[in-house]
Amino acid sequence: MKKLLLILLISAGFVSCISEEDPVQPFPRGDLTTGNTGDNDIYYQQVYYDLSSNTMKAVNNNMDWDLGFEGSEEGFHVILNFGRLMKAVDLGPVDFDSVTEDNLPDKDSPLWEVDHPEGKLDSGVFAIWWDIQEGPGKSLDHVYLIDRGPYENRASRYLKMKINGFTDSVYSISYEYFHTGDGIVYNMIVKDNDVNFTCFSFAEGGKTVDLQPDKNDWDILFSTYTEKLWDGSQYLIYSVRGALINYKYCAALYLDSAIVNDYFDGEVEFSELDYDSVKDLELLPVRNEIGHDWKRIIDINDPNLGYEVKSGQIYIIKDTDGFLYKLHFIGYSSQTGLGIKGFPIFEFKQL
């Protein structure tokens, strides 16, 4: 009987330890926050932004780099700097020395390509430049024509390039300008696993430039970038200004009319959105899911009137830490100069 009493007393003590008197506290969600790019005009600067700290993690000029070399352990893609309106043509495995200025298409020719606006690396200009069977140590030896963008003079704008391979964590490239007479230049770019892409500039004989913040430290890049827009008969390349997500580690979703009708009975208010109302939405790892269409020209016949923001457009974002946010834009003008475009202002809140 004493043993039974002892067991009952121990059991009662154990139950008291897991009682409902000490519930798990929910993660603090915080208040509505206003963010902006400060004095950085996204017509000319690229701004990496972190939502959790409401800070700019890095800022660089659009002209600071030309190519990006993938940093992930299993990735070997190469991208163009979308902030320069760069384009390229893949000529295939032709003889490098045989390629001359005569091979350059007209600057507006549809032969020029840009990387996929959504960030699909296998659909980019360089795509799979290596031998799939043998790996990135073996290049397909394609020759690429490079247009560094309209901000360069002709001598520094056009060149031909090859990606020679990847060995011991180092990319190897060679290139030659058509007009400088400098001959073939060879460069080595060391893979950096801490960033999405190691940036490289053709300037000054070629150099690696340390620009991107740690891949886990930012969520949105505000920048000029290239977009393919349908004009009714074909896709045209445009230079636009907008927001690109860190799509390797983040996801986002624009709450368009179809989603609003399906999930919110045709109506949604930014102030009323909470975690429960968006937790079942399928967010997309698409670079331009936020994009540029959160603003519009006030009068297309008079661009000097500037832009107005579509504040009713709402975006849901999952950041690099896995937290959900709601976000919308409330301005696009400098806070220090009335009417000067290129300065996004936005509100967001963790859900």
Closest CA to 289 of 56, 117, 115, 122: 117
Compute the distance between CA of residue 170 and CA of residue 161 in angstroms, rounded to an integer.
Answer: 17
Task: Report CA-CA distances (Å) from 281 to 26, 219, 228, 231.
Answer: 21, 19, 27, 31
DSSP string over 25-62: PPPP----EEEE-TT--TTTEEEEEETTTTEEEEEEEG
Compute the distance between CA of residue 295 and CA of residue 65 in angstroms, rounded to an integer.
Answer: 27
Compute the distance between CA of residue 296 and CA of residue 227 in angstroms, rounded to an integer.
Answer: 16
**Lowest mean pLDDT, pick from 93-102, 200-209, 217-226, 229-238:** 229-238
Q: Is the pLDDT of residue 203 over 80?
A: yes
Q: Is the pLDDT of residue 10 over 50?
A: no
**pLDDT at residue 29, as a whole number:** 63
Q: Is the pLDDT of residue 243 over 90?
A: yes
**pLDDT at residue 2, as a whole number:** 39
**pLDDT at residue 230, as a whole number:** 81
10 Å CB burial of residue 237 (0-12, 13-18, 19+) is middle
**pLDDT at residue 78, as a whole number:** 98
**pLDDT at residue 232, as a whole number:** 81
When pLDDT is averaged across residues 256-277 and rounded to a whole number, the result is: 94
DSSP string over 172-227: EEEEEESSS----EEEEEE--TTSSEEEEE-GGG-EEE--PPPTTS-SEEEEEEEE
More confident residue, 235 or 261: 261
pTM reported for the whole predicted model: 0.89
Q: Is the pLDDT of residue 41 over 50?
A: yes
Quick one: what percent of the chain has pLDDT higher than 70?
Answer: 89
**pLDDT at residue 228, as a whole number:** 86
**pLDDT at residue 6, as a whole number:** 42
DSSP string over 47-102: EEEETTTTEEEEEEEGGG-SEEEE-STT---EEE-GGGT-EEEE--S--GGG--GG
**pLDDT at residue 304, as a whole number:** 65
Q: Is the pLDDT of residue 33 over 80?
A: yes
Q: Is the pLDDT of residue 8 over 90?
A: no
Compute the distance between CA of residue 94 and CA of residue 338 in angstroms, rounded to an integer.
Answer: 53
- What separation, in Å, do the N-terminal and C-terminal C-alpha atoms of the chain show? 55
Compute the distance between CA of residue 227 and CA of residue 291 in angstroms, rounded to an integer.
Answer: 9
3-state secondary structure (DSSP) of residue 16: helix
Residue in this structure with the two tokens 């709450």, named with its chain if needed: 255
**pLDDT at residue 17, as a whole number:** 44
Residues 275-326: tens digit of each pLDDT: 999 999 999 999 999 999 999 988 777 666 678 999 999 999 999 999 999 9
Confidence of residue 195 (pLDDT cuts 50, 70, 90): very high
10 Å CB burial of residue 62 (0-12, 13-18, 19+) is buried
**pLDDT at residue 231, as a whole number:** 81
CB atoms within 10 A of CB 56: 19
Confidence of residue 16 (pLDDT cuts 50, 70, 90): very low
Residues 124-183: tens digit of each pLDDT: 999 999 999 999 989 999 999 999 999 999 999 999 999 999 999 999 999 999 988 789
**Lowest mean pLDDT, pick from 63-77, 272-286, 336-350:** 336-350
Residue 139 tokens, joined: 């290049």
Q: Which amino acid is at 267?
A: E
Quick one: what percent of the chain has pLDDT higher than 90?
Answer: 79
- Mean pLDDT (the chain, rounded): 90
**Lowest mean pLDDT, pick from 39-53, 266-280, 291-305:** 291-305
3-state secondary structure (DSSP) of residue 330: strand
Q: Is the pLDDT of residue 122 over 70?
A: yes
Compute the distance between CA of residue 115 and CA of residue 88 in angstroms, rounded to an integer.
Answer: 9
